[in-house]
Amino acid sequence: MQQQGKPKFLKFHQGSVRGVAFSPRDRYLFCSGAYDGKVNLYSALRMELLMCYQITTMTLARNVNAVRFTSDGSRILATTTARRLAVVDVERGEQLLAYDNCAFSGRDRTGLAADPVCPNMAVSVAVNGKGLTLLDLRMPLPLDFVYDLHGSVIRDLAFMHPSWPWARGQPSTLLTAGSDGTCKVSTIDGRILHNFQAGHNNLTTVCPTPEPFNHSADDGFYSVIMSGGDMVSAYVPDSGIQEHLKENKDMPIWKLRYTSNGSQLYSVCDGGVVRRYRRYPDHHEYLGEVYRHKADIQDLDISPYDECIL
């Protein structure tokens, strides 16, 4: 990835791709979900399709709007605009479970997260878009529903490292971003621990720094929560919004991702532009465009060893 080689294209979908994800356990394994109702599994090493699984039938809306691997890499989670969440076995390519009426049916990429510690726990944006659906993948029905966590549609969610100040002592902590610019930290059962305003509207993505929490730049890199929408903003606990990145101009940001050690930040936006930033102890430096695509880019992921951008 540091060499920024020539991009390669895998054209195995018949509809717009809405979600991509690398496996947390396999160095080169990744998946994609699209508006053809399919989840595809690939090898980045050989640049080939390994498996194609049809999530939805012809009688359902055939659109996948988010994909994620479980933390052990054994299953792929896929949500659809038919409000269904499907669980696919990576080895066999078979659907293990399907949860109905538990996922948001918006046309754009929706929020979906797998617990980084427990491979059987996952969270999706609820049917009304403002709450959460909790899933124990060992059970045939959703574990619980959190209603109206936000006053607007939740566009992205992520599990937080337990070292963050609000997460200490909690079994699992979620970070959610609402389209009205509000970010909230909550327990998985919906108890709000902290909230803040990102300083701009139309939030679509939220991204905490990946390393254990550090509260001071004097001790190295301070930890931040990056949020993207009309622009990119950096939130520091106890200090507030410390930085705005506006290189996207009037093109909405769709996804933000840090490399595994948090040293670089990548963003994608409308207009198909991938941008890169270097992270310093107290700010981010814009390094320029990595790639420009003909169409809009809705999702982004980085391989576990920072070798490939997807």
Query: What domains are defined for the chain?
Result: 149-310 (2.130.10.10)
**Does residue 291 have a pLDDT over 80?**
yes
Residue 230 pLDDT: 93
Please check whether residue 2 is in contact with residue 13, taking contact to mean a CB–CB distance below 8 angstroms: no
Q: Partners of 40 in the beta sheet?
A: 32, 52
Q: Partners of 276 in the beta sheet?
A: 266, 288
- Kindly report which listed range (48-62, 171-185, 282-296) carries the lowest average pLDDT score: 48-62
Residue 202 region by backbone torsions, left for phi larger than 0, else alpha for psi between -120 and 50, else beta: left
> Which candidate, 71, 161, 77, places its Cα nearest to that of 119?
71
Q: How many other C-beta atoms lie within 10 A of the C-beta of residue 47?
A: 12
Residue carrying structure tokens 């991702």: 257
- Identify the DSSP state of 138: T
User: pLDDT for 13-40, tens place per residue?
Assistant: 888 888 999 999 999 999 999 988 899 9
The pLDDT of 191-213, averaged and rounded, is 92
Count of CA atoms in the C-beta half-sphere (13 A) of 156: 27
Residue carrying structure tokens 């936006």: 269
CA separation for the pair 262, 256 (Å, rounded): 12
Residue carrying structure tokens 């754009």: 108
Average pLDDT, the chain: 90
The pLDDT of 261-273, averaged and rounded, is 93
DSSP 241-271: EEEEE-TTTTSPEEEEEE-TTSSEEEEEETT
CA separation for the pair 106, 101 (Å, rounded): 13
Largest Cα–Cα distance in the chain?
58
The pLDDT of 132-158, averaged and rounded, is 95
Write b or e for each residue in 3-14: b if 16 or more Cβ atoms lie within 10 A of its Cβ, otherwise e.
eeeeeeeeeebe
For residue 186, CA distances in Å to 144, 173, 196 come to: 15, 6, 12
The pLDDT of 72-78, averaged and rounded, is 96
Name the token pair of 218: 């004097």
The pLDDT of 102-128, averaged and rounded, is 93
The amino acid at residue 48 is: E
- Kindly report which listed range (52-61, 137-146, 189-198) carries the lowest average pLDDT score: 52-61
SS3 state at 219: helix
**Does residue 183 have a pLDDT over 90?**
yes
Please check whether residue 217 is in contact with residue 207, taking contact to mean a CB–CB distance below 8 angstroms: no
271: Cα separation from own chain's centroid: 20
Residue 126 pLDDT: 95
Is the pTM higher than 0.85? The answer reads yes
Name the token pair of 97: 């479970």
The model's confidence at residue 229, banded by pLDDT at 50, 70 and 90, is very high
Residue 6 pLDDT: 81
The amino acid at residue 73 is: G
**Does residue 186 have a pLDDT over 90?**
yes
